[in-house]
Structure 1
Amino acid sequence: MKEVTAAIIIKDDLILIAQRGKDEKEEGMWEFPGGKIEIGETDEQCLKREIKEELDIDIEVGDFFGESIYDYSYGEIKLLAYFAQFISGEIKLSVHSSIRWVTIKEIDKFNFAPADVPLVKKLKNLGAI
């Protein structure tokens, strides 16, 4: 099972979601950005690195939010999600086709990748961010 991180990035009470790009697995679906944990890397280090690589922004990783396990056709993943605060930078897309800053009420309008769905439900149950 691969362990993957996801950042629930919050700025001004909005949550950043990203649409998976062309030629990516689950192309066109939405997700909380993040990526695979490398050997010797903590979850927090992974998130900072992945967000910098994928979006060119700096974040501060906060509290652990939750996990989701999903068995895709290409293998099982454990998605480890953390709250994060946007610190600085201007978003530049490299692997995603689009990003959106959404409210908790708007989040249901987007088609999320299966591993992210339980995290979306958990966020909705929390209500306001």
Structure 2
Amino acid sequence: MYIWQSRPVQIVVGVAVVKRGRVLAAYRPDPDGGWEFPGGKVEPGETEEQAAVREIREELDLEIKVGESLGPAVDISERYRLHVYRASIVAGDPVLREHAELRWFAPAELDEADWLIPDRPFVRRLRELL
């Protein structure tokens, strides 16, 4: 008898860092690349908010304060689900470490960028809030 076991879904957090009405985005250069909210996987024992703080510290050398969620999580694939939070900078200036480029977008510029598909619903919500 075969028992089907699904793998647990891994939550991935993205962070929309907002400063003076502009949003920080990171460019992922791989073949399916594009602009995204920086972030990463939630590790065992972490909350999504704790993961967001840790990931932004590791990726951008920023200390942030995590704010509200930008809406329900969206599926990236069968195994990954993306949840994006708005955040503000507490300390530091962004340092490019893991992406090809960083850019501050004004609200009117958000639609001009080639966003990764899972990030797009959060871009729309963020534009409404700015």
Q: Shorter-normalised TM-score: what interval? A: 0.7 to 0.9
In the alignment, the residues of structure 1 paired with residue 54 and residue 73 of structure 2 have an alpha-carbon distance, to the nearest angstrom, of 21
Aligned partners of 1:68 and 1:116 also within 8 Å: no
- Say yes or no: does 1:35 pair with 2:40: yes
Q: TM-score, normalised by structure 1?
A: 0.85
Alignment partner for residue 117 of structure 1, among 107, 110, 120?
Answer: 120
What is the percent sequence identity of the aligned residues?
35
**Higher normalized strand content (fraction of residues):** 1
Confirm whether residue 50 of structure 1 aligns to residue 58 of structure 2.
no
AA aligned to 2:121 is P
Which runs of structure 1 show a deviation greater than 4 angstroms over 4 or more consecutive aligned residues? none
Shift of 1:2: 1.9
**Aligned partners of 1:71, 1:115: CA distance in 2, in Å?**
6
Q: Which runs of 5+ in 2 are unaligned?
A: 1-8
Are 1:91 and 2:97 matched, yes or no?
A: no
The equivalent residue for 2:22 is: 14
**Aligned-pair distance for 1:107?**
0.5
Following superposition, the deviation at residue 71 of structure 1 comes to 4.3
CA distance in 2, matches of 1:26, 1:54: 20
In structure 1, what is the Cα distance between the partners aligned to 2:74 and 2:21?
A: 27
Q: Which runs of 5+ in 1 are unaligned?
A: none
Contact 1:3 1:80 in 2 (8 A): yes
The equivalent position to 1:77 in structure 2, one of 80, 91, 94, is: 80
Higher helix share: 2
CA-based RMSD = 1.7
Q: Rg bigger for which structure?
A: 2
AA partner of residue 32 (structure 2): E
